[in-house]
Amino acid sequence: MGTGHRAAQPPHALPHELTDGLGVARATPLGGGDTASAYRLETARGPLFLKTMADPPPGMMAAEVAGLHALREHAPKVLGVPEVVRWTEDGIVLEWIDEAPGGRPPGTEEECGRGLAALHRAQGDAFGGLDPALPGRIGSFAVDLSPTGDWAAFLLERRIRPLLREAVGAGRIDPRAADLLKELAPRAQELAGPPEPPTLVHGDLWAGNRLVDADGRNWLIDPSAYWGHREVDIGMMLLFGGFGEECLTAYDAEHPLAPGWQARVPWYQLPPLLVHAVRFGGGYGDAAVRALRQLRG
């Protein structure tokens, strides 16, 4: 877990509420995060992973813990989810995962696809958050996760439209994108795909949130889990790469996606593109505009 080791830190410099009693002998900072600090802890019980945030939005860490617990409960044995050792509002300690050295072992992609297909068979009562007591977030962005039976409206009104409004307001996207969305909004039901029951989704399933350990087992980390539509995860998997064709082929064989799913991918990629546009700028706003135009046809 983590890359880019830096100089080790003395254990007493770490948050005591997260490390006391673990017998931490050494803490090695890890690179790769843009909003948090991460460490490998050498402890009396073996290596552990520590992530801390200086001033996280209220409930952000609790939501991640809830997501990890939900994924551990519903994921098949072939799909690992790290155990939560302890957590506070400012950080979390997880079991350590030794990543596979070099390339991934044969069969890893297919096993990942089958594992995700099994995970996506977990069903909830309504679309929305895992726990009504927790605030809804996409990373640091507040979102509405109150329960609803209307997935298409959830995706449009609680994800795409408010994120686009924020991106326009921040000057991160061409304001004409709002006109494109206005054209597409009446097709929200079609663009969301045939009705499916609420499914447990990881919610941020890009390649960096999937690890493969030294034994070739796939692991899911850093979830933004909720009860949604499984094409949320499929769209994210295809956005930044890192999942082989064999993974999606195995997924579709195990839990076939509804016809026309490929054409819906840009619709499902709009929320992460808009989040990235607001946070990082660059070409993400342009990519969101291209997705809107592609959907308009």
Among 70, 95, 120, the domain-final residue is: 95
Does residue 162 sit in the same domain as residue 76?
no
Same domain, residue pair 89 and 114:
no
Assigned domain for 79 exists: yes
- Collect the ranges in the chain with pLDDT lower than 70: 1-12, 32-34, 139
The reported pLDDT for the residue numbered 101 is 86
Whether 222 and 139 have beta carbons less than 8 Å apart is answered as no
Whichever domain contains 119, its CATH number is 3.90.1200.10
What is the pLDDT, as a whole number, of residue 100? 86
Q: What is the pLDDT of residue 7?
A: 52
Both 190 and 287 in one domain: the answer is yes
Q: Which range marks the domain in which residue 280 is found?
A: 108-296
87 and 115 both lie in a single domain: no
Question: What global pTM score does this model have?
Answer: 0.93
For 106, counting Cβ atoms within 10 Å of its Cβ (0-12 exposed, 13-18 middle, 19+ buried), the class is exposed
Residues 262 and 118 in one domain: yes
Shared domain for 162 and 34, answered yes or no, is no
Q: Are residues 142 and 182 in the same domain?
A: yes
pLDDT at 8: 58
Asked if residue 18 is part of any domain, the answer here is yes
Residue 76: CATH number of its domain? 3.30.200.20
Q: Does the residue 147 lie in any domain?
A: yes
Residue 117 belongs to some domain of the structure: yes
Whether residue 103 lies inside any domain: the answer is: no
Question: Number of structural domains, the chain?
Answer: 2
One domain, residues 223 and 289 = yes
> Does any domain span residue 100?
no
Contacts of 168 (CB under 8 A, 6+ apart): 175, 177, 178
Length of the chain: 297
pLDDT at 33: 59
- pLDDT given for residue 212 in this prediction: 95
Point out the domain boundary residue: 95, 116, 132: 95
What is the model's pLDDT at position 141? 79
- Statement to judge: residues 277 and 192 lie in one domain: yes
My answer on whether 34 and 128 are in the same domain is: no
- Strand runs (DSSP E) across 9-135, as ranges? 26-30, 37-43, 46-52, 79-80, 84-88, 91-95
The reported pLDDT for the residue numbered 135 is: 85
Same domain, 288 and 223: yes
Spatial CB neighbours of 146, under 8 Å, sequence gap ≥ 6: 128, 129, 132, 136
Predicted local distance difference test score (pLDDT) of residue 144: 92
Verify that 140 and 261 share a domain, yes or no. Answer: yes
Which tens digit of pLDDT belongs to each residue from 105-117? 889 999 999 999 9
The last residue of one of the domains, among 36, 71, 95, is 95
